[in-house]
Every structure is written in structure tokens, then in C-alpha cells.
């Protein structure tokens, strides 16, 4: 992915509205990474710098370039209110009018929903993994039982019989 990312960064290096960059989360960039929830590497983020979102697309150059072309542009936000439709302007105004503690409370509630979704997903994936493991063990036991019952010997006898039958026909 590094060559594709470097090529894309080069193409956007002079952009006034988009930033394609990398941060070393193991050194001086660690506080920034912690602030934006970066847990694994590489992690790609996009969107409003105050509310970055995870990138879920392909890691090849074409996927990254297409995503950048379609998404790395100014978007409706409190800092770009002129890009918002009337409904989004009203939503932003309502949120900006909230007391700070109420906004923090609402953000926490929504983040909790995300954490719950992630926990549920991980739990369900573990159940699938456990089911897969049990199915593999059951299959391996059945295969071993069939082999122990003499399948290989039966096939060997069948092959020998066919070979003998072929000699008789000559």
C-alpha cells in the first residue's frame, strides 16, 4: 500500500482543500493518533479534521485515487456552513446552541452505540469461530473414523481387482 499512498500524496501535495499525509503513531504523532482512535497500522482516516472517519475501501492506488477524487473536498460542517443545505444548517445550529455538557453527553451516547456495535460484532464473530472450530473437529473425527473402518484398504482391493480383470481380458 505504501507506493500507492505515496503516489496519491504526491498528487495532492499542493491542494488547498485536501490533505493526504501520514503520521507516525509510535513517536511524536502518538497524541494525534490517540485523539482520533487509531489502534492498528496502517489506519486511513478521512473527513472533517474535527470528526475523522475510518476509510473502508481498497488499498490499491486506483481505489484510493477514486475515493480521494470523490471525497476529499470541502464538505458541509460548522467551518463550511455555506456548503450546507437548510436542513443541515438547522441541525448544526441546534447542536451549536446546546450547552457544552449536553453536547458531550450526546456525543458519549452515540459513541457508546458504536462501542456496543463493535462489541456485538466481535462476540458474534467469536461464536462463528467457535462453531467453525467445532465443525472442523467433527469433520476430522468422521474422516478418521471412515479411514479406520478400512476405506483405504477397500479402495486398494478395488484397484487390484480392476487390474486383475484387465489382465483377464487380454
Q: Give the least confident one: 61-65, 117-121, 129-133.
A: 61-65
The conformation of residue 40, written as its DSSP 8-state character, comes to: S
pLDDT of residue 169: 59
pLDDT of residue 85: 94
Residue that is written with C-alpha cell 498528487 in the block: 11
Question: In the chain, what percentage of residues exceed pLDDT 70?
Answer: 98
Q: What secondary structure, in 3-state letters, does 119-150 show?
A: HHHHHHHHHHHHHHHHHHHHHHHHHHHHHHCC
Mean pLDDT of the chain: 89
Amino acid at each position: 500500500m505504501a507506493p500507492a499512498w505515496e503516489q496519491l500524496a504526491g498528487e495532492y501535495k499542493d491542494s488547498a482543500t485536501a490533505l493526504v499525509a501520514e503520521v507516525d503513531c509510535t513517536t511524536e504523532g502518538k497524541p494525534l493518533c490517540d485523539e482520533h482512535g487509531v489502534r492498528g497500522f496502517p489506519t486511513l482516516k478521512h473527513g472533517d479534521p474535527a470528526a475523522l472517519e475510518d476509510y473502508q475501501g481498497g488499498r490499491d492506488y486506483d481505489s484510493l485515487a477514486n475515493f480521494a477524487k470523490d471525497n476529499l473536498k470541502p464538505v458541509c460542517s460548522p467551518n463550511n456552513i455555506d456548503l450546507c443545505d437548510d436542513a443541515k444548517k438547522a441541525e448544526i445550529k441546534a447542536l451549536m446552541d446546546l450547552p457544552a455538557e449536553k453536547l458531550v453527553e450526546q456525543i458519549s451516547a452515540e459513541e457508546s452505540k458504536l462501542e456496543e456495535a463493535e462489541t456485538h460484532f466481535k462476540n458474534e464473530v467469536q461464536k462463528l469461530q467457535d462453531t467453525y472450530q467445532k465443525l472442523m473437529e467433527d469433520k476430522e473425527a468422521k474422516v478418521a473414523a471412515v479411514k479406520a473402518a478400512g476405506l483405504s484398504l477397500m479402495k486398494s482391493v478395488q484397484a487390484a481387482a480392476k487390474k486383475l480383470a484387465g489382465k483377464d481380458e487380454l
